[in-house]
Amino acid sequence: MSESELGRKWDRCLADAVVKIGTGFGLGIVFSLTFFKRRMWPLAFGSGMGLGMAYSNCQHDFQAPYLLHGKYVKEQEQ
Amino acid sequence: MRSECVLGAASDSGQEAPRDTWFLQGKASRRFLIKGSVAGGAVYLVYDQELLGPSDKSQAALQKAGEVVPPAMYQFSQYVCQQTGLQIPQLPAPPKIYFPIRDSWNAGIMTVMSALSVAPSKAREYSKEGWEYVKARTK
């Protein structure tokens, strides 16, 4: 992986993390105000979910070149 | 004489429920509908904009927000000025700070690694010099 491609992946990861954490936080605010009586846990839950999703996407993005997709081949009887 | 609370006693006797309970039930259901609409709209907005989808879609959404939000904020401030008659002073443009994090990080890593690589030889050299100094002083 070239350094420019690595830099692009890092930029994409950071942007993705910002968007997902912000979206989770925003949804947490909405649900906290509407259904959960202004408790704090929906905000933490939403932010944590966004962070986890961003981490998963980043991990998949960085590991993509090295993933080997194998398949099982039956041994032919001699 | 013992009085017991029997469910449905009011309906059995043919009396209707008091009007205020119906009103409260209607108010609660209206409130639930409004809250449900707001929450459902937020969830639909997230789904429609694919904010929780692949990373390239999120990056595109962030870029689009960066292009759309500042002009919208400016127009909103202009609208507020026109409606209220207030004159918001125009702030000077923020200084553009160029700080290449990637280059600084790479330079920092190379500096630390080169320092670690010469650390044993430098430590030997400094200890030798210190020993020579102590020997010279004790003579």
Structure-block tokens of residue A17: 């993390």
How far apart are the C-alpha atoms of A63 and A1, rounded to whole Å? 11
Beta carbons within 8 Å of A51's beta carbon, 6+ residues apart: A17, A20, A21, A24
Residues of chain A positioned with their CB less than 8 A from the CB of B54: 57
Contact between A30 and A45 under an 8 Å Cβ cutoff? The reply is: no
Contact A19 B51 (CB under 8 A): yes
Pick the closest to residue B46 from A13, A61, A23, A73 (CA basis): A23
**pLDDT digit string (tens) for A29-51?**
999 999 999 999 999 999 999 99
**pLDDT digit string (tens) for B74-127?**
888 888 888 887 776 767 777 787 777 777 888 888 899 999 999 999 999 999
DSSP string over B28-66: HHHHHHHHHHHHHHHHHHHHHHTTTS-HHHHHHHHHHHH
**pLDDT digit string (tens) for B31-79?**
899 999 999 999 999 998 888 888 888 888 888 888 888 888 888 888 8
ipTM confidence score? 0.71
Contact B62 A18 (CB under 8 A): yes
pTM, two decimals, is 0.60
